[in-house]
Structure 1
Amino acid sequence: MTDPVAEVVSLLKPSPSISKLVTGGGQWLVERKELGSPFYCAVVEGQCLMTITGREPIVLTAGDFVLVPEIFSFTMSSLEPPPRGALAQRLETSPGVFLLGDSSAPAEVVAMVGHCAFGSDDKTLLLSLLPEVIHISGEERLMLLVRMINDETRAERTARDMVLRRLLEVLLIEALRSTGSAAAPPGLLRGMADPLLAPTLRRIHADPGRSMTVEALAQDAAMSRSTFFDRFRREVGVAPMEYATGWRMTLAKELLRKDVATAEIAQRVGYGSASAFSVAFTRHVGKPPGAYSRQAVTA
């Protein structure tokens, strides 16, 4: 049966952007504003401080991995940051290798840092299903994957870009499944951790073309309508039919980009006719399927 988490990651279309090895000594601070690119960091040695706007600071130590899929402003710094407004000392000692802070001070942290991009134009919906910040300790597989991405970025091997895309997909999936799903905020991971809701989510993803109502989904989950509705909204963060419609439209956009006929898309995503699908798509997306398809082709 379809794995919703893997499907979301695949539809996000992650692609490589920047990967670098960073060493910090003395007092240093790097600020990232809302640049729009997902960020990850694996601490190889030592410690540093990560402060995301609106959240408590996180002390990252050797073996820690952090992923920020969404757009946030944050700083990375030494445990004792320099005064606000102080210029960050940043030296590129070799391609993709950076020294932060005082070059004469002993290294207090070594970390592998990377940015990537999501190619999906529906990434807002897809990212809303995932945790805003993922912080994991002691997962050697994640550290190994970041090392492989870092190494592949430096090399000029055959099919480098394809390998990097696949490694990024595996990194994201590994980070998501390493997360304590039941303790995650409302979203897909938390829904998939619920034994009564996970089968429903798999069915929605596996067969978006079947007829769906809250009553039918509740019956499949062996719950009353009200109990199912409340539980789904609490764990997944949206109402059942809102989730199903959002997922159908995400798939419809993907099919339109592949120039699949509107009538076939309507059938595959659960609408009785091309006209019914067109009305729903226009209401959800803000433009009719034909206009979306033409824009996608010229983009």
Structure 2
Amino acid sequence: MSADPFSEIIRLTKAQTVVSAVFSMGGPWSVRFPAFDYIKFFAVVKGVCWFTAEGEQEPLRVEAGDVVLFSQCRPFVVASDPALPPVEAASLLTGGFSGIARFGEGEDHVQIGGKIRLDPHAGALLADMLPPWIHARASSPQAPVLQWLLDQIVREREGELPGAGVASAQLAQLMFVQLLRAHMAQSQPDALPAGWLRALGDPRIAPALRLMHGDPARAWQLEELAHAVAMSRTTFATRFKAAAGVPPLTYLHNWRMRLAEQGLREGTTSLLALGLSLGYTSESAFSNAFKRSVGVSPKRYRDAAKAEAKSLPEASLSPA
């Protein structure tokens, strides 16, 4: 059985994309955004602007149809002219609004701002694969899909239609997926950090990844995975480690542990049943493997997760 590792990891990390605002600017303008503990993105619907991240000397020109995803927790400035002194974004959003926020005279520039929150426990699985920023240009092969999504988000927000918040969030989630696809398509394989994203971008390795994700409980052998992708055992092992950063069976073990963590945090399945579902023959075998990997027993991990869930309020997705 084959699977879609990309979708599984997006679900496991609970990536939630939210449109914070649609901005319409006129005349000269410059806005400074503070560092956030989540991933930010902005998309230019109309006009041209400059993106400058703190610590970077050269500003990035962003044109209509471009989308920029910024994954680092650093302040950044978006401006019509990078030489202009910026105003703080918080001062522009005082009082709240719906639909489109308008600043200045005219409508020279329209952009969508948003954020992607990841699960605090599993989010690193995705966040660690991202570069400081992704710039999907309007000239890229993925541009028509991104442009359609942008247009739909603006229509939802501008029309203040029933369910606009839900609809724009779903559209933004699709845009995030498309941005990751664009990043994979535009990057040279060796330029991506070793990990699952790079492995999925390797057409010779990706089928083996899909097999392991499709049946993580199976006692996969290196020989059968190599045979499935028509490679020798040695060549497959070398190429897989270069792409994924770890040997194939280590990757399988690590993925089982991520699934185990999710099951312990969110489910009520017994330790025996959870272990069996992940390919372990007994509760003790599962517990020993989990403790070696995570550092605590499954029972202690589950108890800690329950205590944390009771003490922390649900993460806010309010605009910012």
User: TM-score scaled to structure 1, two decimals?
Assistant: 0.81
Q: CA offset at residue 229 of structure 1? A: 2.7
Q: CA offset at residue 10 of structure 1? A: 1.9
Aligned length, in residue pairs: 292
What residue number does 1:41 align with?
42
Q: Which amino acid aligns with 1:20?
A: A
Query: In the aligned structure 2, how far is the partner of 1:269 from the partner of 1:107?
Result: 55
Q: Which amino acid aligns with 1:30?
A: R
- What percentage of aligned pairs have identical amino acids? 31
SS at match of 2:16: strand
Which of 268, 276, 279 is the aligned partner of 2:277? 268
Q: 1:14–1:118: 8 Å Cα contact kept in structure 2?
A: yes
Q: Which amino acid aligns with 1:42?
A: A
Q: 2:52–2:82: 8 Å Cα contact kept in structure 1?
A: no
Q: CA offset at residue 197 of structure 1? A: 0.4
Q: How does 1:19-58 map to 2 (within 5 A)?
A: 19-24=20-25, 25-33=27-35, 35-52=36-53, 57-58=59-60
Q: Comparing 196-205 with 117-126, which one deviates more in the overlay?
A: 117-126
What residue number does 1:284 align with?
293
Which of 239, 249, 253 is the aligned partner of 1:231? 239
Q: 1:130–1:189: 8 Å Cα contact kept in structure 2?
A: no
Query: In the aligned structure 2, how far is the partner of 1:147 from the partner of 1:119?
Result: 29
Query: In the aligned structure 2, how far is the partner of 1:51 from the partner of 1:235?
Result: 31
Q: CA offset at residue 147 of structure 1? A: 4.5
Which of 146, 154, 157 is the aligned partner of 2:162? 157
Q: CA offset at residue 150 of structure 1? A: 5.4
Q: 1:183–1:190: 8 Å Cα contact kept in structure 2?
A: no
Q: 2:72–2:133: 8 Å Cα contact kept in structure 1?
A: no
Q: Which amino acid aligns with 1:295?
A: A
Closer, same or farther: CA 31–91 of 1 in aligned 2, 3 Å: closer
SS at match of 2:92: strand
What residue number does 1:240 align with?
248
For residues 104-148 of structure 1, what are the alpha-carbon distances to aligned partners after superposition, in whole Å with 9 as ceiling and x for unaligned? 5x6553211111322362111233345553321231322333444
What residue number does 1:183 align with?
188
User: TM-score scaled to structure 2, two decimals?
Assistant: 0.77
Q: 2:32–2:87: 8 Å Cα contact kept in structure 1?
A: no
What residue number does 1:170 align with?
174
Q: 2:18–2:168: 8 Å Cα contact kept in structure 1?
A: no
Q: 1:262–1:289: 8 Å Cα contact kept in structure 2?
A: yes
Query: In the aligned structure 1, how far is the partner of 2:260 from the partner of 2:16?
Result: 22
What residue number does 1:202 align with?
210
Q: 2:33–2:76: 8 Å Cα contact kept in structure 1?
A: yes
Q: CA offset at residue 151 of structure 1? A: 5.4
Q: Which amino acid aligns with 1:172?
A: F
Q: How does 1:72-111 map to 2 (within 5 A)?
A: 72-78=73-79, 80-82=81-83, 87-88=87-88, 90-92=91-93, 95-96=97-98, 97-98=100-101, 103=104, 108-111=108-111
What residue number does 2:125 align with?
125
RMSD of aligned Cα (Å): 3.2
SS at match of 1:7: helix
Task: For structure 2, list consecutive stretches of 5 or more residues without a partner in the other structure.
Answer: 310-320
SS at match of 2:67: strand
Q: CA offset at residue 14 of structure 1? A: 2.8
Closer, same or farther: CA 149–271 of 1 in aligned 2, 3 Å: farther
Query: In the aligned structure 2, how far is the partner of 1:52 from the partner of 1:188?
Result: 27
